[in-house]
Amino acid sequence: MKYDAIVIGGGHNGLTCAAYLARAGRKVLVLERRHVLGGAAVTEEVFPGFKFSVCSYVVSLLRPEIIRDLDLPRHGMELLPLDGTLTPMPNGDHLWRVNDHEKTRREIARHSRLDAEAYDEYGRAMIEMGRFAKPILSMTPPDPTSLDPRGLLELLAIGKRFRGMSAHDRINQVQLLTMSAADFLDQWFETDVLKATMSASGIIGTFLGVRSPGTAYVLLHHYMGEIDGSFRSWGLSRGGTGAVSNAIADAARRFGAEIRTETPVAKILTRNGKATGVALENGDEFHASTIVSSVDPNHTFLRWLDEKDLPPDFITAVKRYKYRGSSGKVNLALDGLPDFTCMPGPGPHLRGAISISPGVNYMERAYDDAKYGRFSRRPYMDIVIPSLTDPSVAPPGKHVMSCFVQYAPYELRTADGRRQPADEWDRQREAFGDTVIDTIAEYAPNIRERILHRQVLTPLDIERDFGLTEGNIFQGELTLEQLFFLRPVPGWAQYTTPVQQLYMCGSATHPGGGIMGAPGKNAAEKILGK
Ligand SMILES: Cc1cc2nc3c(=O)[nH]c(=O)nc-3n(C[C@H](O)[C@H](O)[C@H](O)COP(=O)(O)OP(=O)(O)OC[C@H]3O[C@@H](n4cnc5c(N)ncnc54)[C@H](O)[C@@H]3O)c2cc1C
């Protein structure tokens, strides 16, 4: 059978792209390698009765227009509020920021009056930065290497909006693009724990430390969900993040898309410089006039195409694209709740995120370990206990706890700097898991007694199980040199590729990673000529 479009990969972006193409009347086939849809936005019953958002765990950036266009709530998507962030401190104190503005202000004032005032100013400034950046998320980046006047006009329009901001906001914007998260926050705040916990979102998905220039921008990337203003923007998905993917898949099917799982693609077929179909690992072939890959450039160009299909300088640029996975995940099945020394007992503080980020030096030391090729002895962690908000994910009285961990560098090295083989992670997996538990136990000593089962995902597991090269959670680092018209490579940031009728629509394209759907939607619009 011949299709109008074949989408490779049933992650949320591939599904989003398929849904928009099918909505426009195209005959679409989605081919997913795994037995389950969702890619890194997936729910799996890892232990009987315990359902985990195995990889991504909070939904922050999903574009409101996609929720509307695809009517996702009707297809079962429900986002539940994640109220605030608790940061336990080694001295038994804590910082607990919640969605209630006044409460948070009082809490910060407990640490520093000046910081409580600065927090309001900072919030306002970030809203302005977000306002400026947000329209960029849904645009196809212009190509500065081309003389196409449309691209130049788009760049000019961004320049004009930049000029329209106040001088103060313009300075902030330049600082965001050039400074480290820690330095940027230093300009606003004096409380170490506040700066540390806020700087954390500057390093997620990068192989950089909170003091590395460029991380301030990543702060903004993660802040944009909050700017949508409603709690829906920062939340847990009922049934896990797989429920978001499944809702998008249902919408795609309703528009007529066909979705197949356990169909791994091994090759993109071409004729005369044009993509014509795909071949599966078992040799079956499917043909279509358009092929869209939601998988990263390493798979799409270096594995599924022949070198002769691509210009040499493009191949060089694809090989230069940086993945450098730096994160791991530990999912715990618990028979009761952890008890934090800083706020004993159960309570609303356990319903939000729990951030293990007690100081800026702590964060930077965690990175120091990774820089030299080992996992952090005391890692940064972002922890959630979704079963408190959504009891459907665990048996009665039991809980699931998700621990996102950084740093876990993909490439491990020996103490004298020699590169270890990739499967070294198989030997270090349990030691990494133990380090995570030991770190949590410093703040919640009862954690060990509560654990029924644990799943430890190293960057190697993330690569093997989810097809994310080097375990990078965003299909490639979210660093400035790999964003906007540079993502994935300069000159090819418009979802097109050097192979005619072959497009890209995953997180490796603008505007990057996160459960956002924007790459999938933008790519569909490009294909549809909108
Ligand atoms: C550990 C972890 C934690 C994260 N936490 C968060 C979070 O809390 N919030 C957030 O917003 N984002 C988070 N992210 C990032 C976010 O999940 C991803 O950016 C996003 O889900 C990527 O979606 P995608 O559709 O672009 O790609 P993917 O989800 O990578 O989808 C690609 C799909 O292609 C499939 N595929 C691969 N090879 C083949 C093949 N040969 N044939 C057919 N199909 C193939 C894969 O199985 C996969 O389903 C996290 C990611 C990870 C890994």
**According to the model, what pLDDT value does residue 227 have?**
42
Q: How far is the CA of 39 from the centre of ligand 1 (A)?
A: 4
Q: 294 and 520 in contact (C-beta within 8 Å)? A: yes
Tokens of 30: 């989605």
Q: How far is the CA of 153 from the centre of ligand 1 (A)?
A: 33
Distances (CA, A) of 253 to 24, 70, 280, 452: 13, 11, 22, 38
Tokens of 509: 């394209």
Measured by CA distance, the residue closest to atom 27 of ligand 1 is 11
Q: How many CB atoms lie within 10 A of CB 319?
A: 12
**Residue bearing tokens 């809980």:** 399
Instruction: List the end-to-end C-alpha distance of the chain, in Å, as a whole number.
Output: 27
Q: 264 and 280 in contact (C-beta within 8 Å)? A: yes
Distance of alpha carbon 5 from the chain centroid: 26
Residue 280: strand pairing partners: 265
**In terms of DSSP bridges, do strands 43-47 and 235-237 run parallel, antiparallel, or are they unpaired?**
unpaired
> Which amino acids bring their CB within 6 angstroms of ligand 1?
8-14, 31-34, 39-41, 55-58, 60-61, 264-265, 294-295, 299, 327, 329, 404, 462, 466-468, 473-475, 506-507, 513-515
Q: 352 and 393 in contact (C-beta within 8 Å)? A: no
Q: How far is the CA of 295 from the centre of ligand 1 (A)?
A: 8
**According to the model, what pLDDT value does residue 225 have?**
65
Measured by CA distance, the residue closest to atom 14 of ligand 1 is 56
3-19 as b/e: b if 16+ CB within 10 A: bbbbbbbbbbbbbbbbb
Q: How far is the CA of 515 from the centre of ligand 1 (A)?
A: 8
Query: What is the value of pTM for the model shown?
Result: 0.96
pLDDT tens readout for residues 124-163: 888 888 888 888 888 889 887 777 787 788 888 888 988 9
Measured by CA distance, the residue closest to atom 7 of ligand 1 is 56
**According to the model, what pLDDT value does residue 144 have?**
77
Q: How many CB atoms lie within 10 A of CB 71?
A: 13
pLDDT tens readout for residues 32-48: 999 999 999 999 999 99
Q: How far is the CA of 255 from the centre of ligand 1 (A)?
A: 23
Kindly give the number of the ligand 1 atom that is closest to the alpha carbon of 54: 1
Q: How far is the CA of 375 from the centre of ligand 1 (A)?
A: 22
Among 11-15, 81-85, 256-260, 438-442, the minimum mean pLDDT is found in 81-85
Residue 50: strand pairing partners: 47
Strands (DSSP E) along 350-476, which ranges?
A: 353-356, 380-384, 399-406, 451-457
Choose which residue among 280, 473, 516 to substitute to test ligand 1 binding: the one with the highest number of ligand atoms within 8 A of its C-beta: 473
**According to the model, what pLDDT value does residue 307 have?**
92
Q: How far is the CA of 40 from the centre of ligand 1 (A)?
A: 3
**Residue bearing tokens 């979704």:** 386
Angle, helices 242-254/12-23, rounded to nearest 10 degrees:
20
Q: Can the peptide bond before residue 321 be classed as cis, meaning omega within 30 degrees of 0?
A: no
Distances (CA, A) of 426 to 146, 214, 430: 46, 32, 8
